[in-house]
């Protein structure tokens, strides 16, 4: 549910929830302590609890941020690996006769171009999956037909292995795009944010002041950090997208056709 909700909505709701919990902390302090204790500083135990909760919250934030960054880097690396695999396969096509090389290069360009469109689409372009499968099958059929007309020598395993390499990477990229931080982890992080806001309000109430401005700024920063984690972990939308520059370069090179022999 959290992975599907808009980032701005999650940020606003989290900020509002933390500020409401901050005010709740003040009310709890009034109920628990006598009026004569309201102007006294918070106890040492309260300060330790306050530091401990936000220390644990910082650790959880760092852990979630590290996981989302790792997933983002994995997706970026897979784009580069697939582009390199397609480029290497295109180079190996020079082992075939010129006519077969031109035909397979054309089909490879059509397939790579669709892979680029899929990577650029915010929703993963589910409507293009059938067309992608069709182009992949056409490329495979043309390649195998060309190999069937050649003598059974070392060219066959080299070209088949190259085809399998970028095909497998396409599957890995699809799995990486679907991989997200579990909602349970994100939900636990939100619970700690809200619980920390309650304790923060309870502890600050012992000083006799409200400090709403500094608290609001602190909660805003926490909300933005949480939204950034979601944005980095989301490959299908948001502001932080996986670069498709390597794939675009390969598509441009394939569009020019094979180099003259």
CA 52 to chain centroid, in Å, comes to 30
Contact 8, 186 (CB under 8 A): no
Four-residue CA torsion sign, 233, 236, 241, 244 = positive
pLDDT band at 124 (very low <50, low <70, confident <90, very high): low
Q: Is the pLDDT of residue 44 over 60?
A: no
Give the model confidence (pLDDT) of 3-13 as tens digits: 667 888 899 99
Average pLDDT of span 205-222: 85
Give the model confidence (pLDDT) of 77-104 as tens digits: 999 999 999 999 999 999 999 999 999 9
Contact 219, 197 (CB under 8 A): yes
Helix/strand/coil (H, E, C) string of 234-259? CCCCCCCCCCCHHHHHHHHHHHCCCC
Q: pLDDT: is 205 or 15 the higher one? A: 15
Judged by average pLDDT, the poorest of 21-30, 41-50, 157-166, 223-232 is 41-50
Q: pLDDT: is 155 or 72 the higher one? A: 72
Helix axes 245-255, 44-92, angle to 10 degrees: 10
In order, the DSSP letters of 41-95 are PPPHHHHHHHHHHHHHHHHHHHHHHHHHHHHHHHHHHHHHHHHHHHHHHHHHGGG
pLDDT band at 181 (very low <50, low <70, confident <90, very high): confident
- pTM for the model stands at 0.83
Q: Is the pLDDT of residue 40 over 60?
A: no
pLDDT, residue 38, reads 44
Q: Is the pLDDT of residue 213 over 80?
A: yes
């Amino acid at each position: 549910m959290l992975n599907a909700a808009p980032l701005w909505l999650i940020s606003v709701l989290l900020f509002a929830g933390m500020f409401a919990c901050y005010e709740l902390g003040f009310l709890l302090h009034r109920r628990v302590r006598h009026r004569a204790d309201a102007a006294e500083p918070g106890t040492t135990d309260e300060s330790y609890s306050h530091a401990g909760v936000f220390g644990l919250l910082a650790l959880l934030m760092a852990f979630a941020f590290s996981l989302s960054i790792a997933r983002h880097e994995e997706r970026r690396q897979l784009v580069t690996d697939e582009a390199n695999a397609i480029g290497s396969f295109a180079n190996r096509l020079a082992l075939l006769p010129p006519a077969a090389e031109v035909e397979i290069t054309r089909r490879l360009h059509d397939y790579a171009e669709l892979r680029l469109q899929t990577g650029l689409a915010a929703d993963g372009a589910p409507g293009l999956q059938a067309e992608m499968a069709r182009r992949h099958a056409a490329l495979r059929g043309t390649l195998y037909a060309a190999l069937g007309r050649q003598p059974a020598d070392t060219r066959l395993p080299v070209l088949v292995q190259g085809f399998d390499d970028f095909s497998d990477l396409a599957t890995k990229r699809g799995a990486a795009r679907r991989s997200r931080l579990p909602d349970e982890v994100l939900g636990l992080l939100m619970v700690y944010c809200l619980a920390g806001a309650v304790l923060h309000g309870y502890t600050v109430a012992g000083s006799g002041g409200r400090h709403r401005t500094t608290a609001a700024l602190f909660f805003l920063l926490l909300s933005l950090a949480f939204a950034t984690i979601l944005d980095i972990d989301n490959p299908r939308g948001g502001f932080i997208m996986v670069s498709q520059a390597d794939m675009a370069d390969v598509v441009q090179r394939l569009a020019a056709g094979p180099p003259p022999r």
